[in-house]
Amino acid sequence: MSVPPRQAERPLTAEGGHLLRLRDLKMAGAYVVDDRGVIVEMNPAAERLLRRRAADLLGHDAHDAIHRGRRGEALPHSQCALRHSLLTGTTASGDEAYLECGDGTVLRTCWLITPCRIDGSTTGALVIFHEVSDNGEDAAESPGPSASLSDLERLALLAETTATLTSSLDVQATLGHLVRLVVPLLADWVVVDLVAEEGTISRSVVVHYENGALMHRDDLQRQLPAVRPDSAMPLSRALRGVTATLISPQTYQCPPDTDLAAVQQELLAATGITSACIAPIRGIRDVIGALTLGRSERPEPYTAGDLLLVEDIARRAGLALDNARLYERQRRVAETMQRHLLPRLPSLPNLRMSACYVPAPDASQVGGDWYDAFVQADGSVGLVIGDVVGHDLAAAAGMAQLCNMLRAYAGELDIAPSAVVDKLDQAVARMAEATMATVVFARAEQIDGGWRLRWTNAGHPPPLLVERDGSTRFLEDGTGLMLGTGFETVREDAVYDLPPHSSVVFYTDGLIESPAHSLDDGMERLREEAAALAGSRLNGYCDRLLAKVRPPDNDDDVALLTLRVPG
């Protein structure tokens, strides 16, 4: 969500019907949230009390951005009075709520929440708060690990853990969520050791809660020695999936029985941990790691009740990490298959080609984009760019089938590109799995020392012609329906004699599409950048064009094929 550069002066109508403006509140902090809990306005007093600029908070969820527990820990949504007020449409107040300040401290406040209308129509809530001290103590105390949790707080934390960890299918994102859930609420150190698929063990996460911030200790992350089956030390037992254990520095004071125990001794010495819980992280089939939570600043040791809670959190983390690993494994399989199906470009003395394929970002699934280029018996060159609808293994499998069938049909030299694509469309209708796709099939034919391009387009973005002087033109002729619609259509061929030193860029829609901009904007950006690169060498041309044109918020894969004719 974009954050506006400054706040608009908006009238607010509270339950009593009185017209208010936030700037009229001089002594109390105030902010307004919409019906989703997103901050839409904040007064100067709130900026002063929180030591944060309004511009940094507008457009962000109030609960996630500033609501905290007494010690600065993240607060489960189930304990948020603001969300309760939004859902019920009631007024609520209290004398103890904690808000996170810009310097990492927490501010104890007395607060009031009341429903209001924003701009006379949208329903939201007005939150008014002011600082209160606690028996003369500084209200903005530095946060640290919390005291033992109540049963209700433990249940809320476990519910929050399940909801948060299952929200991502990325391993690193899941680990980040896990760290933020347990630190500083349960610990000021968190260590995660993971077992890779090939059996090696790595210390993947070492994080310390220090001065209100999470400090990632990369210097303590490392590859770990193998687990010995006869070791009785807690980390070895956890990595074998045996049990969760409470430990202290005394646990590792005796001479280490394995290299892994020696590494654990070094960790305790470097961190100053005085009490810790170590729990196995179990997947569906195997143990995939160990979770260590430690305290170094606080004298109270962990209890047996804490250990049970940590074990439960580790169990939920294991299921989330196992799902993330399975998802990433599926993506790797599909991407590997897709890359192996992409051809090596033919080497021709009088025609040059360049191509590249980039998979979708890690958060997305693999797609069905492909390119192809092959020399035919009469010396012409077949050129293909295509995109199977979907983002999964089925799309990648459909791409493989279409690629092979098109090559086979294109071998009949006496038929036009439109007839080849028409036969391909008929074959798609007979496939066991319904498949839809867009494709451009072209032939580059040598004539009188030059080159002629003959093509047909089945619903695909038009190729771009770039001449040596930078002038450009989208080849929009010969366009018909995409493959797999089931509708009969008459496909047409288009013909164009390519000027000397010109290039033709074939691409998939991932290069130009963006949620934030129109398709026309993407095509214009492609035109401008391709024109700027018109005189550059073809070696690396596609990579440079991709880097300049592909939108940063792209969530699709991209295939790119460029043909350049000689002078």
Average the pLDDT over each of 39-48, 72-81, 458-467 and give the range with the smallest value. 72-81
Percent of the chain scoring above 70 in pLDDT: 87
Domain check: are 161 and 208 in the same one? yes
Half-sphere exposure of 519 (CA within 13 A, CB side): 6
Write out pLDDT tens, residues 313-324: 999 999 999 988
Is the pLDDT score of 355 beyond 50? yes
Domain check: are 367 and 476 in the same one? yes
Is the pLDDT score of 18 beyond 50? no
Q: Quote the pTM value.
A: 0.54
Give the pLDDT band (50/70/90) at residue 363.
Answer: very low
| Cα 448-472-385 angle, rounded to 5 deg | 75
Q: What is the mean pLDDT of residues 385-413?
A: 80
pLDDT for the residue 505: 97
pLDDT for the residue 10: 52
Is the pLDDT score of 283 beyond 80? yes
Q: How far apart are CA 136 and CA 305, in angstroms?
A: 33
Domain check: are 97 and 30 in the same one? yes
Strands of 223-298, DSSP E: 223-224, 245-247, 275-282, 287-295
Q: Which residue has the higher pLDDT, 256 or 443?
A: 443
Best-predicted range by mean pLDDT among 304-308, 390-394, 465-469, 531-535? 465-469
Domain check: are 406 and 547 in the same one? yes
Write out pLDDT tens, residues 121-171: 567 888 989 888 655 343 434 344 444 677 777 777 888 888 888 888 888
Is the pLDDT score of 106 beyond 90? no
pLDDT for the residue 14: 44
Q: How far apart are CA 326 and CA 319, in angstroms?
A: 11
Domain check: are 117 and 164 in the same one? no
**Is residue 7 one of the residues assigned to a domain?**
no
Domain check: are 354 and 395 in the same one? yes
**Is residue 138 one of the residues assigned to a domain?**
no
Average the pLDDT over each of 146-155, 360-369, 553-562 and give the range with the smallest value. 360-369
**Is residue 1 one of the residues assigned to a domain?**
no
Neighbours of 16 (CB within 10 A): 7
Q: What is the mean pLDDT of residues 416-424?
A: 94
Is the pLDDT score of 370 beyond 90? no
Domain count, the chain: 3
Domain check: are 316 and 358 in the same one? no
Domain check: are 290 and 364 in the same one? no
Q: What is the mean pLDDT of residues 237-261?
A: 89
What are residue 389's DSSP bridge partners? none
Neighbours of 227 (CB within 10 A): 21
Q: How far apart are CA 474 and CA 457, in angstroms?
A: 12
Is the pLDDT score of 75 beyond 70? yes
Strand, helix or coil for residue 496: strand
Average the pLDDT over each of 18-22, 203-207, 303-307 and give the range with the smallest value. 18-22
Q: Which residues have CB under 8 Å from 423's CB, separation 6+?
A: 409
**Is residue 49 one of the residues assigned to a domain?**
yes
Show the domain range for 473: 342-564
Burial status of residue 318 (CB atoms within 10 A of its CB: 0-12, 13-18, 19 or more): buried
Query: For the chain, how many helices (H) and strands (E)?
Result: 13, 26
CA distances from residue 38 to 90, 97, 263 in whole angstroms, order as listed: 18, 18, 46
**Is residue 20 one of the residues assigned to a domain?**
yes
Write out pLDDT tens, residues 19-72: 456 666 777 889 998 877 889 999 988 998 999 998 899 999 898 889 988 878
Domain check: are 519 and 384 in the same one? yes
Residues in the chain: 567
Q: Which residues have CB under 8 Å from 181's CB, separation 6+?
A: 74, 157, 160, 161, 164, 165, 313
- Work out the mean pLDDT of the chain and round it to a whole number: 84
Is the pLDDT score of 179 beyond 90? yes
pLDDT for the residue 148: 60
Average the pLDDT over each of 332-336, 354-358, 415-419, 545-549 and give the range with the smallest value. 332-336
Domain check: are 157 and 260 in the same one? yes
Strand, helix or coil for residue 432: coil
Provide the token pair at 250.
């005394």
pLDDT for the residue 203: 95
The answer to whether the beta carbons of residues 46 and 30 sit under 8 Å apart is yes
Burial status of residue 232 (CB atoms within 10 A of its CB: 0-12, 13-18, 19 or more): exposed
Domain check: are 171 and 282 in the same one? yes
Strand, helix or coil for residue 503: strand
**Residue where one domain finishes, among candidates 299, 328, 357:** 328
Half-sphere exposure of 545 (CA within 13 A, CB side): 39
